[in-house]
Structure 1
Amino acid sequence: MTAVSLSTSTAAALRADAVVVAVAKGPKGLVLAPGAETVDEAFEGRLAEVLATVGATGAEGEAVKVPAAAGLKAPLVLAVGLGEAAEGYTAEALRSAAGVAARTLHGSKKAAFALPATDAAAIEAVTLGALLGAYTFTACRSDNGKADTKTPLAEVALVGAKRGDKAAKAAVERGTVVAEEMNRTRDLVNMPPNDLFPKSFADIATTVGKETAGVKVEVLDEKALTKGGYGGILGVGAGSERSPRLVKVAYTHPKAKASLAFVGKGITYDSGGISLKPAGHNETMKCDMAGAGAVFASVLAAAKLGLQVNVTGWLALAENMPSGSATRPGDVLRMYGGKTVEVLNTDAEGRLVLADAIVRAGEEKPDYIIDVATLTGAMMMALGSRTFGVMANDDAFRSTVTEVAEAAGEPAWAMPLPAHLRGPMDSTVADISNMGERMGGGLVAGLFLKEFVAEGITWAHLDIAGPAFNEGGPFGYTPKGGTATAVRTLVALAERAADGKL
């Protein structure tokens, strides 16, 4: 992964392939953002004029290159846009600008970033944005991505640092940890389903868990799932030759005063089962394990950051395929814990694997359960492709989770769980069916999951169906493909719990 370091050098004095400055849209035209002073001096105070001449406007997402002036050690100046000029720029604006810069400089070895980042929060934002923007997935390329257009920027130096600034150093370290785990999630989501399936995902978790201090991994295979009565996970995986798994990834801290359980939907490929998806809907279904990927990465991040909280991740892994052994519409599954579910649609499978895992997580009596899932197309219809929905059995907690997500830079929206939508899920042959009214389908799925949350446990559900996988072009620090949505939110929730503020 790209390396980020702090440098006490000025932007003009540091040897690099490029120096990055930020610009914004001022009331009278293009303006330079703080941090660009020494670069502007090399241009005799005319840098903004030069950039405007070649078309720079300062718009968010913009990247404009100009040859460096004499006096700069770098041969190239890259100006990235922050949007409207302001006295101070938000963390998200800085993340986005840093991500654009890193994406633009693919193929370069080193860049000096002279962005308006003087305090720890801003430094962390630039670090995270740069590392996320530099991401590329090359595992399946014959040249392993060695072509210049695919090679990520190797090194980022944040210039103008104060010598011995411990807060700045800690900011870089936190940003690096979160970026590493987000990029791990992206790798998992982008892996083809013939390489990532329940057993291989479980094997990855086991290997990484052994390498991460404070983390223990336990894997329930098909035999253990059968013995334990995990009818939801087994029912979804019944149609595949690749058997399902339930993976427990636990991080504990000796001084922890709170415990969190993160539950992730891990459908490594979703054909829809017998209720087969229509043409045009299968091509990206390798991403249906994005929730489990986010949960896995978040536990690892909590461990690496040494948070004083206990965090347990539950990865409910299955491949949903049609075959002679697949669960049929009309079948009744006996879930873990004994509740029975009539399966009316095998493409509503995520809630089935999550239900088993939620019941199992509840047995350990955590203070909070948060599940994460690419659960419903209905949530995409409601909130689009960049915002996830938040539901909960406690209104205050729902508001907290939504606020934490927004503060972390992940757009989220609080959604209700209307009681009148529960009735249509009643079954004539089982305790509940896995389908209800078509309208409000995302809320129906949330109500289904709520049925499996143990009494007295505060629970939230994050439906990340929209933002988990970017089918369009890259923007800011977000690439095409897996995005690692929800990792920042889960890590921030763990931090708040560790501080006793959740």
Structure 2
Amino acid sequence: MEFSIKSGSPEKQRSACVVVGVFEPRRLSPIAEQLDKISDGYISALLRRGDLEGKIGQALLLHHVPNVLSERILLVGCGKERDLDERQYKQVIQKAISTLNETGSMEAVCFLTELHVRGCNTYWKVRYAVETAEESLYSFDQLKSNRVELRRPLRKIVLNVPSRRDLNRSERAIKHGLAIAAGIKVAKDLGNMPPNICNPAYLASQARQLADNFSGYITTRVIGEQEMRDLGMNAYLAVGSGSQNESLMSVIDYRGTAKPSVKPIVLLGKGVTFDSGGISLKPAESMDEMKFDMCGAAAVYGVMRVIAELKLPLKVIGVLAGCENMPAGAAYRPGDVLTTLSGQTVEVLNTDAEGRLVLCDALTYVERFEPELVIDVATLTGASVIALGHHLTALMSNHNPLAHELMTASEQTGDRAWRLPLQDEYNEQLDSNVADMANVGGRPGGAITAACFLSRFVRRYHWAHLDIAGTAWRSGKAKGATGRPVALLAQFLFNRAGFRDDE
């Protein structure tokens, strides 16, 4: 969809539709008041009649309002004015976009960006509007033989800002918002793709395609099973040993600066394209959702696209750790002892705790890049869902400043995380009688003990772990990938690059 910025009065707009807000109880926003005055009280009369209360989720489309140049006015409920925050603002934008798209308005001028939103300046209101609009219009229908196409879909939105002084920062907000929305879209597309299509080879092909599309900035290298054997990545290889699909690790190298002194930031994504649980087989119910076990890799892929699109002045390496966990005669077993790339040994107690076995070797592998920091992203534990539900990503780190940076980015974007402790006491649960450690530590604190396992492989650099098992996808009727935490990680890199929202 096309977005543009304008600063103007509502009475001068000639458009298919003008979008304005109404607060509870039946109170017009300043822009709506201007339109009401032009129309000789037409809008306020409708509200007094009870046509719209102003609650979030409500909308009322008016046609041919007296003395108004635009064909339509869309009134959108904004809730109580004092309560309008970033989360509710996104709900308001979502309702506006879905209503416009369903009612045949191919273009609109939106004045919702002029509302006062607690904690948000103009940059954030514009950027949130762009990202939310793109999210609202997303659909995954590539595999449907009969696609439903709207006759008059929404194609163009003009976002109005209060002052001409806001135009430059708002244009930048649109640029950033579109890049992030595109990154989220490709991450969702990868996550939603069925596992008979999206296997490790498919992930690798997408990584190579990214290098083709941004050849001046990105190179991609794919590491296959033979090279993994030569390196000694036995834990990674064990996870994929029961699958007919070769395990492939894609290394996407982005060079946005030629300064030799700049060390790379490494983003590592778990890319288990289907997780049956292996010999420790999962229950059949909802097993189809285990195609989403590669959403960490999908998110890293989406972030790499964002930074390449915006040409961030950073060095970033994205690693997609692709494999498939299946039961078979060659599959690894409970009781096996694996020697990892680091030389440490792991007793396998549960083959369904496979993600940490893939990541531990990948975390050791990335030491060769001498990274400034490493962030891994993984749908790692059901325990993180029990702890935080489906709203917050679990964050654990061995470096407080890095954790604080990620928390700041999560608050800025609304792609929220919550930090869990990473203390030595939890490590005792990983004790093994036959190896250096076990791959599971029991049910208590399962998300934390999984991170403790990973922490044994990251002692040479600053590291953070994002467990997105609760936030990477939705179940039920709205089943599908969410694209999280692309926005969080992209904002983290924006902040690292020195991008500001007040310039």
Residue in structure 2 matched with residue 209 of structure 1 by the alignment: 211
Matched, 1:44 2:40: yes
C-alpha distance 170-431 of structure 1, shift in aligned 2 (>3 A): same
SS in structure 2 at match of 1:139: coil
By percentage of residues, which structure has more helix? 2
Residue in structure 2 matched with residue 495 of structure 1 by the alignment: 494
Which has the higher mean CA deviation after the structures are superposed, 282-291 or 119-128?
119-128
C-alpha distance 234-160 of structure 1, shift in aligned 2 (>3 A): same
Summarize the alignment of residues 50-129 of structure 1 with structure 2, pairs less than 5 Å apart.
50-51=46-47, 53=49, 56-86=52-82, 90-107=85-102, 108=104, 109-117=106-114, 119-129=122-132
Contact 2:42 2:65 in 1 (8 A): no
C-alpha distance 244-48 of structure 1, shift in aligned 2 (>3 A): farther
Residue in structure 1 matched with residue 411 of structure 2 by the alignment: 406
Matched, 1:322 2:327: yes
Letter of the 2:490 partner, please give it. V
Contact 1:11 1:160 in 2 (8 A): no
Residue in structure 2 matched with residue 282 of structure 1 by the alignment: 287
SS in structure 2 at match of 1:56: coil
Residue in structure 2 matched with residue 170 of structure 1 by the alignment: 172
SS in structure 1 at match of 2:237: helix
Residue in structure 1 matched with residue 117 of structure 2 by the alignment: none
* Alpha-carbon separation, structure 1, partners of 2:312 and 2:49: 49
C-alpha distance 72-277 of structure 1, shift in aligned 2 (>3 A): farther
Letter of the 2:40 partner, please give it. E
* Alpha-carbon separation, structure 2, partners of 1:421 and 1:499: 37
Alignment length (residue pairs): 488
* Alpha-carbon separation, structure 1, partners of 2:499 and 2:346: 37
* Alpha-carbon separation, structure 1, partners of 2:484 and 2:14: 35
Which has the higher mean CA deviation after the structures are superposed, 153-162 or 300-309?
153-162
SS in structure 2 at match of 1:199: helix
* Alpha-carbon separation, structure 2, partners of 1:126 and 1:135: 14
* Alpha-carbon separation, structure 2, partners of 1:310 and 1:186: 25
* Alpha-carbon separation, structure 2, partners of 1:51 and 1:260: 54
Summarize the alignment of residues 138-177 of structure 1 with structure 2, pairs less than 5 Å apart.
138-147=141-150, 153-159=154-160, 165-177=167-179
Matched, 1:431 2:444: no
Letter of the 1:116 partner, please give it. T
Matched, 1:242 2:266: no
Matched, 1:454 2:428: no
C-alpha distance 252-34 of structure 1, shift in aligned 2 (>3 A): farther
SS in structure 1 at match of 2:113: coil
What is the aligned counterpart of 1:376 among 370, 374, 381? 381
Contact 1:51 1:66 in 2 (8 A): no
* Alpha-carbon separation, structure 2, partners of 1:393 and 1:50: 58
* Alpha-carbon separation, structure 2, partners of 1:112 and 1:294: 32
Letter of the 2:413 partner, please give it. A
Matched, 1:218 2:214: no
Residue in structure 2 matched with residue 263 of structure 1 by the alignment: 268
Q: Normalized against structure 2, the TM-score is what?
A: 0.89
Q: Normalized against structure 1, the TM-score is what?
A: 0.90
* Alpha-carbon separation, structure 1, partners of 2:3 and 2:285: 40
SS in structure 2 at match of 1:251: strand
SS in structure 2 at match of 1:268: strand
- How far is the alpha carbon of 1:45 from its aligned partner? 3.7
Gaps of 5+ in 1: 475-479
SS in structure 2 at match of 1:83: coil
Superposed CA RMSD in Å reads 2.6
* Alpha-carbon separation, structure 2, partners of 1:152 and 1:422: 55
SS in structure 2 at match of 1:238: coil
* Alpha-carbon separation, structure 2, partners of 1:388 and 1:288: 15
- How far is the alpha carbon of 1:68 from its aligned partner? 4.6
Letter of the 2:368 partner, please give it. E
* Alpha-carbon separation, structure 2, partners of 1:51 and 1:209: 55
1:41-67 superposed Cα distances (whole Å, 9 cap, x missing partner): 454344355256455333334444343
* Alpha-carbon separation, structure 2, partners of 1:189 and 1:152: 26
- How far is the alpha carbon of 1:10 from its aligned partner? 4.7
C-alpha distance 105-482 of structure 1, shift in aligned 2 (>3 A): farther
Summarize the alignment of residues 13-28 of structure 1 with structure 2, pairs less than 5 Å apart.
13-25=12-24
- How far is the alpha carbon of 1:268 from its aligned partner? 1.1
* Alpha-carbon separation, structure 1, partners of 2:499 and 2:177: 22
- How far is the alpha carbon of 1:91 from its aligned partner? 4.0
Residue in structure 1 matched with residue 469 of structure 2 by the alignment: 465
Contact 2:276 2:287 in 1 (8 A): yes
* Alpha-carbon separation, structure 2, partners of 1:52 and 1:200: 58
Contact 1:233 1:317 in 2 (8 A): no
Residue in structure 1 matched with residue 231 of structure 2 by the alignment: 228
* Alpha-carbon separation, structure 1, partners of 2:45 and 2:399: 54
C-alpha distance 169-472 of structure 1, shift in aligned 2 (>3 A): same
- How far is the alpha carbon of 1:97 from its aligned partner? 2.1
